[in-house]
Amino acid sequence: MPIAEFDLIAKYFTRPAKNLSTRLGVGDDCALLAVPQGYELAITTDTMVENVHFFAGADAESLGHKLLAINLSDLASMGAKPIAVTLALTLPDTNEAWLAAFAKGLLSLAAHYQVDLIGGDTTRGPLTLTLQALGLIPTGKALKRSTAQPGDYIFMTGNLGDAGLGLKIAQGYLCAQPTAAEQRFNKPYPQIDAGLALVGAANACIDLSDGLAGDLGHILAQSQVGACLDWQALPLSAAVQAYIEETGDWAMPLTAGDDYELCFTASPGQAAALTASNAFACTKIGIIESALGLRLNKAGHIQPITVTGFEHFS
């Protein structure tokens, strides 16, 4: 007999609260959260739809991990500390092996950050995974997209394009060393610690979910500035460099999504303080300019970047 809705919620998605902010978790009509004085609540939602965001038959544990990771990444990019999440699950059936693996992936990453699953909704339909994440940020301190300044340096954490390569591999590209790229695509890790370290130490920030060109483009549009990226400086793994040499597809790391690294801008003074503090590793990849548009400096030749990231309705 298939497991009933409330038994499913109790068995797979109800755990004792760990976060001090949680006043009431799963089981009532609403959950209750305490917001400490001097803090604002940061709220974000992301959905993953089968055959749009992941392949049918994708590993359930990785899906649970990734659903949480991509939402925590949004909190990281604002400099918020995650406290709780809600989960809206639409399932074609109640496959308990799938549910156990999905819950394991989600709840182990949640436990790592002391994030509580405080509620949600469970319905039948085409496999659709939606999570809402809530975090705390000292009042007025959130890192926004709209506050980059001409003269800021542009930085990013981690490497660019590994997840994009992971997707190419899943689509059939033969890579000599696929493992790291596949991992980056299937199981990204949110840059929570970097986000927290950037509060008060950077001017603008975004997480790289849809590709650097498009995501940095959001900072440029909202801040009403332009930028020039330095091709030579982009942090590309050996596997991504080999992919580019083999295929000639040098735009892939600029346009592929799913890296979930942070891209931020900092004044030269802020940048010097960040480098001195050694809080986390990052790479300087370009500069914010007052002339609008996004440009790429490739061996001294400056060209406009016209490619963008993923967009659902175009």
Q: Does 28 bind ligand ADP (CB under 6 A)?
A: yes
Instruction: Choose the binding region for Mg ion from 17-25, 87-95, 121-129, 204-212 (rule: CB under 5 A).
Output: 121-129
Taking CB under 6 A as the criterion, the residue among 64, 79, 105, 119 binding ligand ADP is 119
Q: How far is the CB of 25 from ligand ADP (least distance, A)?
A: 8
- Helix 5-13 to helix 96-112 angle, to the nearest 10 degrees? 40
Instruction: Choose the binding region for Mg ion from 102-110, 120-128, 152-160, 170-178 (rule: CB under 5 A).
Output: 120-128
Q: Nearer to Mg ion by C-beta: 5 or 246?
A: 5
Which does residue 137 bind out of Mg ion, ligand ADP, none, counting CB within 5 to 8 angstroms by kind?
none
Q: Does 80 bind ligand ADP (CB under 6 A)?
A: no
The candidate with the shortest Cα–Cα distance to 160, out of 35, 36, 60, 251, is: 251
Contact 93, 51 (CB under 8 A): no
How many whole angstroms separate alpha carbon 210 and alpha carbon 310? 5
Looking only at residues 7 through 26 of this chain, which bind ligand ADP when binding is defined by CB under 6 A? 9, 13, 26
DSSP state for residue 231 in the 8-state scheme: G
Taking CB under 6 A as the criterion, the residue among 33, 84, 117, 137 binding ligand ADP is 117
Q: Does 266 bind ligand ADP (CB under 6 A)?
A: no
Taking CB under 6 A as the criterion, the residue among 49, 90, 120, 289 binding ligand ADP is 120
Contact 184, 276 (CB under 8 A): no
Which does residue 9 bind out of Mg ion, ligand ADP, none, counting CB within 5 to 8 angstroms by kind?
ligand ADP
Residue for token digits 């999570």?
Answer: 131
Q: Does 87 bind ligand ADP (CB under 6 A)?
A: yes
Total residues interacting with ligand ADP, rule: CB under 6 A: 13
- Sheet with 153-156, strands from edge to edge, namely 204-207, 262-266, 153-156, 283-289, 226-230, 293-298, 301-304
The candidate with the shortest Cα–Cα distance to 76, out of 121, 37, 109, 50, is: 109
Q: Does 27 bind ligand ADP (CB under 6 A)?
A: yes
Q: Please state the separation of Cα 73 from the chain's center in Å.
A: 4
Taking CB under 5 A as the criterion, the residue among 7, 121, 193, 245 binding Mg ion is 121
Structural tokens at position 58: 């994708």
Contact 203, 271 (CB under 8 A): no
Q: Nearer to ligand ADP by C-beta: 133 or 194?
A: 133
Which does residue 119 bind out of ligand ADP, Mg ion, none, counting CB within 5 to 8 angstroms by kind?
ligand ADP
210-215-219 Cα angle (round to 5): 160
Q: Which residues bind ligand ADP (CB under 6 A)?
A: 9, 13, 26-29, 87, 89, 117, 119-122
